[in-house]
Chains A and B, each alone.
Chain A
Amino acid sequence: ISHVLLCNVTQRVSFWFVVTDPSKNHTLPAVEVQTAIRMNKNRINGAFFLNDQTLEFLKIPSTLAPPMDPSVPIWIIIFGVIFCIVIVAITLLILSGIRQRRRKNKEPSEVDDAEDKCENMNTIENGIPCDPLDMKGGHMNDAFMTEDERLTPL
């Protein structure tokens, strides 16, 4: 404190100061003091337990903290997550739609196949080939039916 002189002290803690250089016995130029304070503002603040709002050096604008800049902006990460989920959902919906349609197309032809298979299997039951025509039991010979009998009586 021996090389710092105070003057113009007021009620509110504010004062002017100059810094002297003991070896050369003159005051240091303002520009040098200003750059020194700018570089060490943090330490000065810390020493007084103050911050940029409560400790102000006139004509020395405080350097603002650089914005926190992550390498990948956060919004892109979340966007990527949401977009991937949506694309996967769309693909699943399209695939399930294709599968549903293929199942619907296969159903009528599958029913026909089942009937044929049933007939083929029945004819080789017990190792004895049966006459396929007999398996469709209950066949009426139309030649011996009269007109009235064909229709169900009320």
Chain B
Amino acid sequence: MAHAPEQDPATSDLGEERPKWDNKAQYFLSCIGFAVGLGNIWRFPYLCQTYGGGAFLIPYVIALVFEGIPIFHVELAIGQRLRKGSVGVWTAISPYLSGVGLSSVTLSLLISLYYNAIVAWVLWYLLNSFQHPLPWSSCPPDLNRTGFVEECQGSSAVSYFWYRQTLNITADINDSGSIQWWLLLCLAASWAVVYMCVIRGIETTGKVIYFTALFPYLVLTIFVIRGLTLPGATKGLIYLFTPNMHILQNPQVWLDAATQIFFSLSLAFGGHIAFASYNSPRNDCQKDAVVIALVNSMTSLYASIAVFSVLGFKATNDYGHCLDRNILSLINEFDFPEQSISRDDYLAVLMHLNATWPKRVAQLPLKFCRLEDFLDKSASGPGLAFILFTEAVLHMPGAPAWAVLFFGMLFTLGLSTMFGSMEAVITPMLDVGVLPRWVPKEALTGLVCLACFLFATCFTLQSGNYWLEIFDNVAASLNLLILAFLEVVGVAYVYGMKRFCDDIAWMTGRRPSPYWRLTWRVVSPLLLLTIFVAYITLLSQKPLSYRAWNPKYELFPTRQEKLYPGWVLAACALLSLLPLLWVPGVALAQLLTRQRRTWRDRDARLDTDTS
């Protein structure tokens, strides 16, 4: 019943063998490295905490089982069976669908542009961690050295270092500012590192991946051990994991769980297809898909333990400082001796003083300190890494070492994801033969990396962070959802479920169970469609706005909410639509060429008949 492939796919037309993984471990680690990225560290813990802790795991697991694993399996299976990058795979499935492959390539290219900009920021922080005291530990003094710089005084040393000394951000997206040379250097370095690792395709990434995929786990373990021994860690963890079942009634939770699973596994990039295409055909891709997806989710959970023990420590620390400031005000006002009020006595002493001297106490600037308020101050994305975590690290003994470890981990996480994105672009280019055969692979990768670096310099402008946010939120997300939907539908209905199940039976030795067939046919496409519709509805409900860092704002350091100007929205709409235009464009082109061929044949037949 099982049929062998029509031609030997191991050799291309000119007899050059397709590169292979040295061993299964390299392939495994590459897929894990691609799936496990920065989002596992700074997006999942935030979602877990915002959406009622342990309760969030319920929609998360449901999304994993009905959406994440089936689509992941599809990608690995078609890559392994058809042994080509995304463009080749979709051309083989149906010539009308090769636009899907081209869209994947364009999208991977766009995403790697801004992803490596984030990696460049991480590199900048990593380079700055090799000094004691850390540069973000204190504000720089102002001109006559009597106080700190005003912007820093108003916000905090960490925020100042991020917004001013790193990004040198402008107050408005319209104001582009100039290119920041230090960020440009870091961007050049990160693209150079990416080029060094991707230079000969999987031959070189296969060697580097042992380090870049495993080092984050080592650092996470170190942070878990250190984090759990910090004071206040348990409070943070309890706050994180306390389930709040009522939150499940909010549809936003389900939407965020589904999108998180989807982006966390890096689906629809074409990277997993490219990695699987270098496999031997008879490899159990079903087991691989399940195992890699589970490893990815476990890593997210593990990372949230590390992140929240450290954040719990930070919250306890901040709470202690808040109490100390209040105590200092009391001591100064009532002339008590130094350290006469401990943190535990504070409330009792305050009540006593309020009873005896209410007027004097009322005029003091006493803040209401509550531990939950500090625990609530979590953030996701760069805010977590570059502001919250950097501040937490300052209070740990041996701060530079922890900073180096943390940013080293983020750097390797970002790198391993970049390998997948680059392979998603380069493998199809090699398959299609964009450059002539005599051009070596190193030159092709070099050209791609150079082009990406030049385009990404726009993120080193002073308004670069604002552009990156809109890129990330709008351009990438919608396109990936649509592409994944087309992938599942294309394989299930255009390629044919029967043919696909035969292929999988040939590759893995057993036919897919009804669970797989049901999810591929019905559940996953429906889920994706629902997510897409929900996403669009939420986007259109309120006008798109961003939060700007404006020192002249009255409520500084709170970020100022501003609306995106029209031309920015137009640029983003263009970016969102351009990659997808390949799909209908190529289908139309195919239709036209076929029509022209049938017309030509008909004319030729008419000529022979009449002559």
Please list the residues of chain A having a beta carbon within 8 angstroms of any beta carbon in chain B. Answer: 10-12, 14, 54, 61-64, 66-67, 74-75, 78-79, 82-83, 86-87, 89-90, 93-94, 97-98, 101
Contact = CB atoms under 8 A, between A and B. Distances in A.
A76 B169 CA distance: 21
B330 to A, nearest CB: 12
Contacts of A79: 127, 185-186, 189
A74 B196 contact: no
B152 to A, nearest CB: 12
A63 B58 CA distance: 56
Contacts of A87: 192
A54 B338 contact: yes
Nearest to A14: B335
Interface string B134-147: 00001011000111
Given A14-B335, A61-B146, A86-B189, A94 B199 contact: yes
13 contacts: A12-B337, A54-B338, A62-B146, A64-B145, A64-B148, A66-B141, A67-B141, A75-B124, A83-B188, A89-B196, A90-B199, A93-B442, A97-B440
Contact of A75 (B128, B140, B200): B128
Contacts of B556: none
B308 interface: no
B193 interface: yes
A101 B189 contact: no
A64 B337 CA distance: 26
A74 B145 contact: no
B336 interface: yes
B195 interface: yes
Contacts of B200: 93, 97
A124 to B, nearest CB: 38
B141 A64 contact: yes
Contacts of B440: 97-98, 101
B455 interface: no
B190 to A, nearest CB: 10
A126 to B, nearest CB: 43
Contact of A64 (B124, B147, B193): B147
B155 interface: no
Given A61-B147, A66-B145, A98-B440, 18 more contacts: A11-B337, A54-B338, A61-B146, A62-B146, A64-B141, A67-B140, A67-B141, A75-B124, A75-B131, A79-B186, A82-B189, A86-B192, A86-B196, A90-B192, A90-B199, A93-B200, A93-B204, A101-B440
B335 A10 contact: yes
A93 to B, nearest CB: 5
Nearest to A67: B140
Interface string B325-351: 000000000011110000000000000
Interface residues of B, number: 31
Contacts of A90: 192, 195-196, 199
A61 B192 CA distance: 48
Contacts of A64: 141, 145-148
B599 interface: no
Q: Is the contact region of chain A dominated by helix, strand, or loop, or is it mixed?
A: helix
Contacts of A89: 196
B546 to A, nearest CB: 29
Contact of B127 (A10, A54, A75, A97): A75
Contact of B199 (A62, A66, A93, A98): A93
B130 interface: yes
Contacts of B193: 86
A78 B130 CA distance: 8
Nearest to A10: B335
A89 B128 CA distance: 24
Tell me which of B124, B147, B192 has the highest count of chain A C-beta atoms within 10 A of its own C-beta. B192
B127 to A, nearest CB: 4
Given A67-B140, A86-B196, A93-B204, A12 B335 contact: yes
A63 B192 contact: no
Nearest to A93: B199
A153 B442 CA distance: 51
Top-6 shortest CB links A-B: A75-B127, A12-B335, A64-B141, A61-B146, A74-B131, A86-B192
A97 B201 CA distance: 12
A93 B192 CA distance: 13
Nearest to B144: A63
A11 B140 CA distance: 36
B207 to A, nearest CB: 11
Nearest to B182: A75
Nearest to B129: A75
A86 B193 CA distance: 6
Contacts of B130: 74-75, 78
Interface in B170-185: 182, 185
Contact of A63 (B146, B182, B188, B442): B146
A112 B258 CA distance: 63
Contacts of B441: 97
Contacts of A54: 338
A9 to B, nearest CB: 11
B336 A12 contact: yes
A97 B141 CA distance: 53
Contact of B335 (A11, A67, A86): A11
B189 to A, nearest CB: 5
Contacts of A62: 146
A55 to B, nearest CB: 11
B140 A97 contact: no
A83 B146 contact: no
